[in-house]
């Protein structure tokens, strides 16, 4: 965290088990005030349990939770200044949109005039002003999601927790809601902790991302840091689309070169911890592979598969009995057919090197 920026949330050594299932394991991270922070990872890595712990819905077995510097580990839900939006919209079907938005304020005994003002203000912000007298079952999926979001925003929380809130929406609505959430974050400057298994959501929305695995954070950083400097093969395989190409390799006798199915690779910067003969994994980003120009040290390959995606095409090639993916502009890919020979090139200084035994980056 940058010096001088106060953490809105800090988790230190949080652990939580449900019977024999370990949901969180020594989970530690902090979120700076005003940050859009994303918890990213597949199902069952502990994202929801983490959010529920911050909200006070789950009490950890051990560890410490601080909100604005105060210990809330074993404190009740009230007083945290936290609001949570769940994956399911969880709207009250018998209440109008107005009453759904007003409900949490009525629970807090807010004055009637203030409730009306805040509901109308929130509805206008979320483009729901014309829907206030409607019931949830008459709304579209996107409108229902905005009502669920509005029910949290109307409380004016310091910290907003979002648990996979866009999962039930179609692709266009997800795109629109991503933009809406980023706009709301800029407008209010509130702290947002957002859980998602979707890589595009994580990279496009998060100012900072914590990649989770088995109830722990394995790496945190900006989208650029995670893409450029993954600490292990797990992060490397989760961040970046198409995903990184991985090749089995071995450290050469000089402990500087790497023997791979594509031939020897000699990056300029040696890996000081490499041991001769050690098994390694070479990672190559698809965006770092291209068709070779004349005079470059090319690798002979054959076109295996073409996946047109509009302005780009993902091209899979067979080289050295391996299948590698690269990304080409659509105009360049139109001249290519499956089965065609192709000479490819990548800079050996752009490769990522990991230890085969642990998956950790080799330094």
Please indicate, yes or no, whether residues 277 and 166 belong to a single structural domain of this protein: no
Please indicate, yes or no, whether residues 92 and 196 belong to a single structural domain of this protein: yes
Q: What is the DSSP pairing of strand 258-260 with strand 245-251?
A: antiparallel
Per the CB < 8 A criterion, the answer to whether 191 and 159 are in contact is yes
Please indicate, yes or no, whether residues 56 and 153 belong to a single structural domain of this protein: yes
Q: What is the mean pLDDT of residues 183-189?
A: 87
Please indicate, yes or no, whether residues 196 and 309 belong to a single structural domain of this protein: no
* HSE of 137, CA atoms in CB hemisphere, 13 A: 4
pLDDT band at 78 (very low <50, low <70, confident <90, very high): confident
Q: Which of 236, 271, 298 is the last residue of a domain?
A: 236
Distance CA 181, CA 187 (A): 10
Q: Convert 51-65 to b/e letters by CB count within 10 Å (16 or more is b).
A: bbbbbbebebeebeb
Domain, as residue range, for 163: 7-236
pTM: 0.90
Please indicate, yes or no, whether residues 20 and 143 belong to a single structural domain of this protein: yes
Please indicate, yes or no, whether residues 232 and 251 belong to a single structural domain of this protein: no
Give domain status of residue 363, yes or no.
Answer: no
Give domain status of residue 54, yes or no.
Answer: yes
The whole-number pLDDT of residue 154 equals 92
Q: Is 339 left (phi over 0), alpha (psi -120 to 50) or beta?
A: left
Q: What tens digit of pLDDT does each residue of 40-70 get?
A: 999 999 999 999 999 999 999 999 999 999 9
Please indicate, yes or no, whether residues 65 and 103 belong to a single structural domain of this protein: yes
Per the CB < 8 A criterion, the answer to whether 316 and 327 are in contact is no
Q: Which of 207, 236, 265 is the last residue of a domain?
A: 236
Please indicate, yes or no, whether residues 70 and 209 belong to a single structural domain of this protein: yes
Please indicate, yes or no, whether residues 299 and 229 belong to a single structural domain of this protein: no
Q: What is the mean pLDDT of residues 169-181?
A: 85
Please indicate, yes or no, whether residues 192 and 257 belong to a single structural domain of this protein: no
Q: What is the mean pLDDT of residues 141-163?
A: 91
Mean pLDDT for the chain overall: 93
Q: Which of 215, 236, 257 is the last residue of a domain?
A: 236
């Amino acid at each position: 965290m940058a010096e001088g920026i106060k953490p809105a949330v800090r988790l230190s050594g949080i652990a939580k088990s449900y019977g024999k299932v370990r949901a969180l394991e020594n989970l530690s991270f902090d979120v700076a005030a005003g940050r859009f922070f994303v918890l990213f990872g597949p199902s069952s890595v502990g994202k929801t349990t983490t959010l529920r712990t911050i909200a006070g819905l789950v009490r950890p077995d051990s560890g410490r939770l601080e909100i604005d510097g105060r210990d809330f580990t074993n404190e009740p839900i009230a007083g945290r200044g936290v609001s949570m939006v769940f994956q399911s919209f969880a709207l009250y079907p018998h209440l109008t949109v107005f009453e759904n938005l007003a409900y949490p304020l009525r629970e807090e005994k807010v004055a009637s005039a203030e409730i009306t003002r805040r509901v109308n203000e929130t509805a206008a912000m979320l483009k729901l002003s014309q829907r206030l007298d409607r019931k949830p079952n008459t709304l579209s999926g996107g409108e229902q999601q905005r009502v669920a979001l509005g029910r949290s925003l109307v409380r004016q929380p310091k910290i907003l927790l979002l648990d996979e809130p866009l999962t039930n929406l179609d692709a266009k609505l997800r795109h629109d809601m991503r933009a809406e959430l980023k706009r709301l974050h800029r407008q209010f400057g509130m702290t947002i902790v957002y859980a998602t298994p979707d890589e595009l959501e994580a990279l496009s929305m998060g100012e900072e991302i914590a990649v989770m695995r088995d109830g722990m954070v394995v790496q945190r950083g900006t989208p650029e840091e995670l893409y450029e400097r993954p600490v292990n093969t797990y992060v490397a395989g989760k961040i970046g689309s198409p995903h990184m190409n991985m090749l089995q390799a071995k450290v050469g006798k000089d402990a500087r070169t790497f023997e791979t199915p594509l031939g020897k690779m000699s990056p300029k910067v040696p890996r000081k911890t490499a041991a001769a003969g050690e098994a390694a994994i070479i990672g190559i980003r698809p965006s770092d592979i291209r068709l070779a120009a004349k005079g470059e040290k090319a690798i002979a390959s054959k076109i295996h598969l073409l996946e047109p995606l509009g302005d780009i095409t993902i091209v899979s090639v067979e080289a050295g009995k391996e299948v590698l993916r690269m990304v080409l502009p659509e105009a360049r890919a139109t001249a290519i057919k499956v089965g065609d020979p192709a000479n490819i090139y990548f800079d050996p200084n752009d490769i990522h090197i990991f230890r085969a035994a642990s998956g950790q980056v080799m330094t």
